[in-house]
Structure 1
Amino acid sequence: MFNLVAKKLPLAVMERFNRFILKDYQRTLKFVTTADPDLFHVIGAKKAVQTFHHAEKNVPAYHSFCLKNNVNPKAIKREDDFNKNVPITEKTNYIKKYSLKDRCLNGRFPPHGNIDESGGTSGTPSNWIRSVQENEILLQLAKFEFEYVYNISRRNVIVLSAWSNGPWAIGIKFCQLMQNYALVKSTGTSIQNIEETLQTFGTEQEYILAGYPPFLKKFLDETKLDLKKYKIHLLTGGEGISLEWKAYFQKQLRKDAIIISSYGASDIDIGIGFETPFAQIIREACQKNNALRKELFGEVPTIPMLFQYNPLLHYITQIYNREEAKNEFLITLCDTNVASPKVRYNLHDEGSIFTYKEMQKILEEYAPKIL
């Protein structure tokens, strides 16, 4: 019943509903654990369609892009219209073709916000601009995820940000987010700084050490401290980690250490996907269950990362890249406060999408004990 009502709600109402839910952890938890999983997709699809119209009308570059690709905005009414007739955007055909200002709402930079930079694998780094308002929804989402995974409000936690410092999105944004619900210190990639911080605040304190996998391994291998004396949890991202990698880290830390990964991209935001306990259980089951592993990932040498995401904020669909023979996914960031909207944006990251019910059905057949 509510699914039908959601299809008729205007975008502004759905965004207020989304923000209302995310403001309180217990309210969010109750909603995500009791609501029909299809409801998230219904609302997300509706928001994606309305986000398209919002961008086409208010973003000069996207309006021009749609004209160039012969898109009739009036014909985009439903999810099927959106997926069949709205062209894919990516760096080559959109980001590099239009100026940063023209890719912003009303052709203007937001008065308040931040600019970060992604590494220039093609030779020239890209700049990404974000408004204060869009950071607020990311803050609420991240707060729920950290509470859900780390139970952060009930722990005496100091977060150590060991991401690379500089203009890149993750180092700056991570500290901005975490300071709202935890003590955070930016140590950068200094092993000495991390060691001195641990010694200063002592063994009674709990810590979440966050950084890229190579640096975290370097720290654990080279530190002179006995890390088992400290209550350290890990957060990583930026590249995949194997289950063997995780097991190696677990041996260096206390048995109750929580080790998770996250998925993000400078093009979109740093909080696209999160490795929830449920995702970890499924991934670990694939290590022993070849049938489940093949059903989820196909024939792969290592078990890929598995994340859960919020369809109310990120509408994600899967496509097949014939040239490179791999599955990729398209992301629409469903928030009208976004300074530089992305509609059906292809990061060219390899991956597949399962709805919650699709995953349930697979687990019922191949690994019923998980449920």
Structure 2
Amino acid sequence: MHAVPPVPLGRHREAEQRAHVAELPDGRQADRMSNIHPVDLRRWCYVPGMHVRAARTLERLLEFYTAPAAPLAGDPAERAAALFREVAATVPAYAEFLAEHGASTGTPFGELPLVTKESYLRRYPLASRCRHGRLEDSDTIAVSSGSSGRPTVWPRSVVDELAVARRFEDALVHSFGGHERRTLVVVCFALGSWVGGMYTAAACRHLAAKGYPVTVATPGNSVEEILRVVAELSPGYEQTVLAGYPPFVKNVVDEGARRGVDWAAYGIRMLLAGEVFSEEWRELMGRRAGMSQPDHDSVSLYGTADAGVLGNETPLSVRVRRFLAAEPAAARELFGDSRLPTLVQYDPMIRYFEAVDGTLLFTGDGGVPLIRYHIADEGGLLSRDELVAFCRRHGFDPGDGDDRPFVYVFGRSLFTVSYFGANIYPENVAAALDHPGLADDITGKFVMQVRTDADEERRFCVAVERAPDRPAAEAAELADAIRTTLVRLNSEFANYVPAAYQTPVVEVRDPGDPEYFPVGVKHRYSR
């Protein structure tokens, strides 16, 4: 990695004069600080009269800008316990929360009460959930999407962005080779108070400041602006990263193709977050965007408004997931479910995960620090060694990769529908609609629901969005593909639902249909 130490403050002009030009392996040149020891750099964080907050921020920035793109060293459990003790001493709401549950700093970490939105976030005032009760110590405010209820406010600081920037750095370096290639990152998430777009832009700007050849463009979720930015800027870069919500990125690529955009010429990569997608979808987007290395060309981020990005796909995790997608019996054995989850690696020194009763907890620092926060995502944890060994026992060698553990995430059960006692998940239906024979005529968005007809017969129904400028897909063909895929992937569906009721009622709707596919809002796959 060619990380560049931080540029000194303006008052240290003599240090700037000691910078020299160094040749990088690919022939480019970059300013490198040559004669300054890291200890000297650290001293710059403390200047007489400087506000303590500024000094602490500079120190944390220095740690990030001078660190390699690698997991942090140390004992994750001890780091989480140390954060707990510090939060108990400095965050008024958490101290009160502990007392109400009969817990204290002497309580073993694994016995601490779980923090939830209902028991903690919605019970205590926002300021009291911050250190020393000081909301004003946060630089900005982010807002969750509110997909499970009313939106939640999350205070943030520049320092909080660094944990997220590490996950973007891992994707940029180890998946995209962005330390060696001029890279344009196009932020296709919505901007404003919603967390995804602003966090992505901030994290990638940190990477640019660290010395990577990265430029960030922020057109937001406007297809017209994205295509304009790509046409104008992408020819000057070796690769272009489209960062966004998977269905929206697909819309961008499809609309660009309709307008004659040669995506393959721009070295497209995809940085995706917000929902689980199938490996068929990854294949489909690879073909349409000219991406030829599935384990390196797209990265899914597991992120939440609660704590930013928690983990990211790696080449190793993608290879494993692709193997499991082709072997549903092995996937069910490993995950205990017919769904194929998002599978990512994470740094336990930054986000400390636990699995309890099939759901995930994490502990992590932030503007509102969270200790054993029950995020309510269904999933589990696996070590690198046990996952690789599992694959090898089933005849596939995925390689070794790095030592970081894995977290797998199904999402939240509130997005399922129940039919004859069988849980049907959006991931099951998506796997059917992403096949090449069907995908050209639809956008990939759908809404599933169970309706009762006049005779009180229950029917599984799926509304599917037609692709712009394409004829309506045959509803019968879509229904048959969904039934076939559900029977193959979902053992509950295959065994619980009578054969006469397994074929869904499919309705093809126009793009942007206001009832099922309204424009400009986060899509929901079930109702």
- TM-score range for the pair, normalised by the shorter chain length: 0.7 to 0.9
CA 1:88–1:194 in 2, change beyond 3 Å: closer, same or farther?
A: same
Which structure has the higher relative contact order (CA within 8 Å, separation 6+)?
Answer: 1
CA 1:110–1:140 in 2, change beyond 3 Å: closer, same or farther?
A: farther
CA 1:242–1:141 in 2, change beyond 3 Å: closer, same or farther?
A: closer
How far is the alpha carbon of 1:23 from its aligned partner?
A: 3.3
Aligned 1:182-221 pairs, distance under 5 A: 182-203=214-235, 205=237, 206-221=239-254
User: Equivalents in 2 of 1:265, 1:157: separation in Å?
Assistant: 25
How far is the alpha carbon of 1:119 from its aligned partner?
A: 1.9
SS at match of 2:397: helix
**Number of aligned pairs?**
328
Q: Does 1:146 align with 2:172?
A: yes
Q: Does 1:346 align with 2:381?
A: no
Question: Does the 8 Å CA contact 1:22/1:141 hold for their aligned counterparts?
Answer: no
Amino acid at match of 2:335: F
CA 1:303–1:188 in 2, change beyond 3 Å: closer, same or farther?
A: same
Amino acid at match of 2:340: I
Q: Which residue of 2 aligns with 1:355?
A: 383
Aligned 1:1-371 pairs, distance under 5 A: 23-25=66-68, 28-29=69-70, 43-74=75-106, 76=107, 81-83=108-110, 85-121=111-147, 123-180=149-206, 181=208, 182-203=214-235, 205=237, 206-223=239-256, 224=259, 225-256=261-292, 258-269=297-308, 271-300=309-338, 302-320=339-357, 327-333=358-364, 335=365, 338-367=366-395, 369-371=397-399
TM superposition score normalised by structure 2: 0.58
SS at match of 1:184: strand
User: Equivalents in 2 of 1:130, 1:367: separation in Å?
Assistant: 46
- What does the per-residue CA deviation read over 1:264-301, in whole Å, with 9 as the maximum and x for residues that have no partner? 111112x211010000010011123345312322241x
Question: Does the 8 Å CA contact 2:171/2:313 hold for their aligned counterparts?
Answer: no
SS at match of 2:367: coil
SS at match of 2:290: coil
User: Equivalents in 1 of 2:78, 2:378: separation in Å?
Assistant: 25
How far is the alpha carbon of 1:354 from its aligned partner?
A: 0.8
User: Equivalents in 2 of 1:173, 1:20: separation in Å?
Assistant: 19
SS at match of 2:342: coil
CA 1:171–1:202 in 2, change beyond 3 Å: closer, same or farther?
A: closer
SS at match of 2:169: helix
Instruction: State the identity %.
Output: 26
TM superposition score normalised by structure 1: 0.82
User: Equivalents in 2 of 1:226, 1:243: separation in Å?
Assistant: 23
Higher-helix-fraction structure: 1
Higher-strand-fraction structure: 2
How far is the alpha carbon of 1:345 from its aligned partner?
A: 0.3
User: Equivalents in 2 of 1:156, 1:21: separation in Å?
Assistant: 21
Aligned CA-pair RMSD: 2.4
User: Equivalents in 2 of 1:188, 1:244: separation in Å?
Assistant: 26
- What does the per-residue CA deviation read over 1:109-162, in whole Å, with 9 as the maximum and x for residues that have no partner? 253522100122355321100222222343344324321221112111111000
